[in-house]
Chains A and B, each alone.
Chain A
Amino acid sequence: MSADVMIPYTTEAAIETYGDGADITVIAGGTIVMQLLNYRRMAPERAMLLSKAGMSYVNREGPTYTIGAMTPLSDLIGLAAPLGPCAANVADHEIQYQATIGGNLCAPTPPEHPSGDLQGPLIALRATVRSTGKGGIRRDGVEDFLANKAGRLVLDISFDAPQAGAFRALNRPHTRQFTALAVSGVRSGDKISLAATGAGPTGIRLASAEALAADPAAAAEAALNDVAMRDDSLASAWYRERTFPTLVSAVLIEIQEGS
């Protein structure tokens, strides 16, 4: 049986179509959901295609960026670290043209590899997510959104441009498709914000490392207290624990040199 497919042509129509989010599968760029459909791991009865909803834009007003949920990663590559370099590190050019910031933020985490490449940079940027669903439109910090994303449709994401930022990822040929492990850092005023991707089921803030940011070596060791490494098809927890401090210290040093 084929699904009922709705194709809204405006953001307002997408919000109305989504409603409370019950029993509706959202397809943004398609890079996640289409795999599941191809392998018949999903058979939605109702689906909403967002490709024509006009939600692809990068706006800047003063220091504040607002990025539409359907903005492809290719449109983020020119942005400053950590978001731009992180987008450039995802998969390959064709996937970057297709995958969206909203879809990437909402990526489920399967057991075989990490996902949600952009979660770390957006946590470090202290971004906020405007979403709709049951209870209407609301705005949350990224960490709160990730903890309660079920039944929510991302509309846009906002953050202030940082004074300095950095992104470092484990870079091995076989990790091209997925971010196996990465650290993002941002300096805004005296405040340093750090987050990791691939160090747990979702992106995670490195609060212990932030508290020791003035000492990159100490912060790098402390960061291990903030994460829960696991074995998967890309890297073992053992390997991640040994490479992670290097990424943290490199990010902190780059932020200090860039400010």
Chain B
Amino acid sequence: MNIRLNGGTVDIKSPPLTSLLTVLREELNVTSPKRGCDQGGCGACTVLVDGTPQRTCLTPVAAVDGAEITTIEGLGDSENLTAVQQSFLHHGAAQCGFCTPSMIIAATAYLDGDGSAEPEAIQEALKGHLCRCTGYQKIISAVSAAATKSEFDLTSMTASPNTVILPGGDT
């Protein structure tokens, strides 16, 4: 078996019924998909399979033999963030960060499908993704801004809009 992972082809050695999540994290050391509930309920393990968001914890790796798998590592890097990643950064749409990769993956798929900037529509699109920190408002704001193709000058940001600057410069 093999998969095309973020643009490269990798061979899979795990048994065929191993979950794609386990293969990514434990065989391929791609740790952005998180093991949350391991039963499809929290969304933290979501990746794109041939462009469609899918729960890796519920996907036997043999079912995606030959498929294109995109994790957040395949979207952009620190020098070349996607619009959704920039917007998440600008809006401070992460607290502990556990749900952030899957939120960005799901939001990317939503916007690739011409999703609107309406908060209700975004809420519906992301309803399968749980944020343990309950930071939904900033996540929805970030996706909404990305939908309107807002641009952010991240290089000029001395701190994110949500960062408190303490005396002495510590944050």
Contact = CB atoms under 8 A, between A and B. Distances in A.
> Do these two chains really belong together in a complex?
yes
Contacts of B17: 2-3, 5, 27, 37, 44, 47
Given A34-B58, A94-B43, A95-B55, A49 B63 contact: yes
Interface stretch (B46-54, B70-78, B161-169): B46-54
Interface string A46-72: 010101100000000000000000000
B57 A98 contact: no
Nearest to A47: B17
B142 interface: no
Interface string A95-122: 1011000000000000000000000000
Given A92-B128, A97-B52, A177 B41 contact: yes
Contact of B60 (A30, A39, A91, A92): A30
A27 B38 CA distance: 17
B167 to A, nearest CB: 42
A49 B59 CA distance: 11
Contacts of B58: 29-31, 34-35, 98
Contact of A30 (B38, B52, B63, B127): B63
Nearest to A72: B52
A93 interface: yes
Contact of B128 (A7, A27, A94): A94
A176 interface: yes
A98 to B, nearest CB: 6
A38 B40 CA distance: 11
A176 B129 CA distance: 12
Contacts, number: 82
Given A27-B60, A97-B53, A2 B15 contact: yes
Nearest to A50: B63
A90 B16 CA distance: 28
A160 B129 CA distance: 36
A173 B38 CA distance: 21
Contacts of B144: none
B83 to A, nearest CB: 21
Contacts of B111: none
Given A34-B58, A176-B127, A94 B38 contact: no
Nearest to A38: B38
B9 interface: no
B93 to A, nearest CB: 19
Contacts of A30: 58-60, 63
B38 A35 contact: yes
Contacts of A95: 40, 55, 128
Given A5-B16, A49-B62, A49-B63, A94 B39 contact: no
A93 B43 CA distance: 10
Interface in B81-131: 106, 125, 127-129
A7 B125 CA distance: 32
A239 to B, nearest CB: 22
Contacts of B19: 34, 37-38
Interface in A1-20: 2-3, 5, 7
A31 B62 contact: no
Interface of A: 2-3, 5, 7, 27, 29-31, 34-35, 37-39, 44, 47, 49, 51-52, 91-95, 97-98, 176-177
The 6 closest A-B pairs by CB, nearest first: A92-B128, A2-B15, A51-B63, A5-B16, A35-B39, A34-B58
